[in-house]
Amino acid sequence: MLNISKNAVRGFDFTQYKSGKRIFDRYYYKTFNKFLIVFFFVLVVVLFLPWTQNVSGQGYVTTLSPDKRPQRIQSQIPGRIEQWFVQEGDRVSKGDTILRISEVKSEYFDTELVKRTSEQLASKKEALQAYNQKADALRSQIIALEQERSLKLDQSRSKVEQSILKAGSDSLKLIASEANIEIARIRMDREKSLFDQGLKSAKDVESRTMILRAAESDYVGARNDFDNAKNQVAIDQFEIRRIDANYADKIAKTMSELASARSASFEAEIEVSKLENTLTNYTMRRGLEYILAPQDGFINKAIKGGIGETFKEGESLVSIMPLDYALAVETYVRPIDMPLMHIGEKVRVEFDGWPAIVFSGWPNASLGTYGAKVVAMDRFISDNNMYRILLAPDFDDRPWPEQVRVGSGARTIALLSDVPIWFELWRQLNGFPPNYYTPETQVEMNKKK
């Protein structure tokens, strides 16, 4: 101590002052000792008080159903903004028109594109019908040709049979002529023999010679008739083959025309299908010129504003907040705490902007917190190296505030096992995780299994 005062410190009597008398009084020491004993006793008692282990996390308010979360409305086609029908903060119903856009691609500039495509489709359908009618006519023609061929062949076969019968008759006549020649020759030889003997006259011999020559003449005629009959049979048989080949050629040509008509019909069907697809696409694309509200809600923000601003397909144009939704809290816990979480786990939630007095180890003594329970847990770690857990309101607890908005912050405390305070202090000093446990409901389900 610096000796800067004129009064010497050594030998200073503190008892001359009231405060000094109280410090050096023996009664004061006794009171302080009692205080220390009481404090130590209270500290020992506090160390053995129950403490609820917990897992805390930071998250934000969201919605329980994915289709009720804030969403951005995109355009499926590129275009340009032409007219807005809503303002930010307006309430819209499902199907209400939000804005109108126009095309920016030159192939869709034609305002009569759908009508012209429909006319092309109608013309192509008529062409397809004509091809089908032509194919039907060719099928009927093939049937007629086959019937005509059958009749011609039957007629030619009848003619062949007649020629064969005539050839048979001529062959009999030829045989008869041969027999007549033989008989005439025998008789002539007999007449010559009798003439040589002087029993017959020369006139009789000449008569028999004339009869022989007549028989020979008849034989030659019968021979010619028989040969002609055979030739006629061959000609008639050839006529059958000619008729069959002729009609086969006609039928083949007609079938070729039928194949061409069917091929043209198939091509027309392909064109009709393509035009129907194109017409449907054009019709739906015309419908996409109006951006509609997908569900009831409020317009949050116009991402693409102004008139005449262009955008690409898939770009967000406006964000909308659904009207009816169930609140939930999306929180994140460390991987070391993830095994301690279970579906149905009770959790306390503290919302940003709502006053709260929180004693993490004594949930019953906390004020301003709200009840929740775990309804979903991620199976894979998130980008922030923590696991995401979804919390729903606990209907057995007091309801959440109606003024809580989606996106506001929230602090969560998951309640685990009850342990003494000294154990929790020892765990915290050593950096150990909370005690692993299994909920009673899960134990009972395992026993039932």
Mean predicted lDDT score pLDDT of the chain? 81
* Other beta carbons less than 10 A from residue 350's beta carbon: 19
Judgement on whether residues 33 and 57 belong to the same structural domain of the protein:
no
pLDDT band (50, 70, 90) for residue 5: low
- Reference 417, options 367, 365, 336, 342; nearest CA is 342
* pLDDT over 60 at 3, yes or no: no
The reported pLDDT for the residue numbered 381 is: 87
pLDDT band (50, 70, 90) for residue 274: very high
pLDDT digits (tens, 9 = 90+) for 386-444: 899 999 998 888 888 888 888 888 888 876 666 666 776 776 676 666 655 455 544 44
Judgement on whether residues 301 and 419 belong to the same structural domain of the protein:
no
Judgement on whether residues 168 and 282 belong to the same structural domain of the protein:
yes
Cross-strand partners of 411: 58, 350
pLDDT digits (tens, 9 = 90+) for 41-98: 888 777 776 666 667 788 889 988 888 888 899 988 899 999 999 988 899 999 899 9
* pLDDT over 60 at 242, yes or no: yes
Judgement on whether residues 143 and 200 belong to the same structural domain of the protein:
yes
Question: Would you say residue 108 lies in a domain?
Answer: no
Average pLDDT of the segment spanning 349-359: 73
Judgement on whether residues 341 and 372 belong to the same structural domain of the protein:
yes
CA distance 417 to 423: 12
Average pLDDT of the segment spanning 281-297: 89
pTM > 0.75: yes or no: no
- Reference 60, options 329, 356, 332, 259; nearest CA is 329
The reported pLDDT for the residue numbered 1 is: 47
The reported pLDDT for the residue numbered 27 is: 59
Question: Would you say residue 1 lies in a domain?
Answer: no
More confident residue, 7 or 102: 102
Question: Would you say residue 2 lies in a domain?
Answer: no
Low-confidence winner among 128-137, 205-214, 306-315, 433-442 (lowest mean pLDDT): 433-442
Judgement on whether residues 127 and 274 belong to the same structural domain of the protein:
yes
Average pLDDT of the segment spanning 127-152: 90
The reported pLDDT for the residue numbered 137 is: 92
60 close to 404: Cβ distance less than 8 angstroms: no
The reported pLDDT for the residue numbered 446 is: 46
Question: Would you say residue 4 lies in a domain?
Answer: no
**What is the domain-level CATH number for residue 209?**
1.10.287
The residue out of 272, 287, 302 marking a domain boundary is 287
The reported pLDDT for the residue numbered 439 is: 55
Judgement on whether residues 182 and 272 belong to the same structural domain of the protein:
yes
Judgement on whether residues 387 and 432 belong to the same structural domain of the protein:
yes
Domain that residue 86 falls in: 71-103+289-321
The reported pLDDT for the residue numbered 112 is: 87
Question: Would you say residue 278 lies in a domain?
Answer: yes
Write the CA distances from 309 to 132, 144, 318, 350, 424, integer angstroms: 51, 69, 13, 43, 61
The reported pLDDT for the residue numbered 99 is: 92
HEC secondary structure over 25-88:
CHHHHHHHHHHHHHHHHHHHHHHCCEEEEEEEEEEEEEECCHHHCCEEEECCCCEEEEEECCCC
Judgement on whether residues 126 and 77 belong to the same structural domain of the protein:
no
Judgement on whether residues 42 and 58 belong to the same structural domain of the protein:
no
Question: Would you say residue 156 lies in a domain?
Answer: yes
Which regions of 233-353 does DSSP assign to beta strands (E)? 290-292, 297-302, 310-311, 316-322, 327-333, 346-351
The residue out of 232, 265, 287 marking a domain boundary is 287
More confident residue, 101 or 36: 101
Judgement on whether residues 254 and 330 belong to the same structural domain of the protein:
no
- Reference 329, options 316, 345, 340; nearest CA is 345
Count of domains forming the chain: 4
Question: Would you say residue 3 lies in a domain?
Answer: no
**What is the domain-level CATH number for residue 96?**
2.40.50.100
pLDDT digits (tens, 9 = 90+) for 221-239: 878 888 888 888 888 888 8
More confident residue, 431 or 119: 119
Judgement on whether residues 28 and 61 belong to the same structural domain of the protein:
no
Question: Would you say residue 386 lies in a domain?
Answer: yes
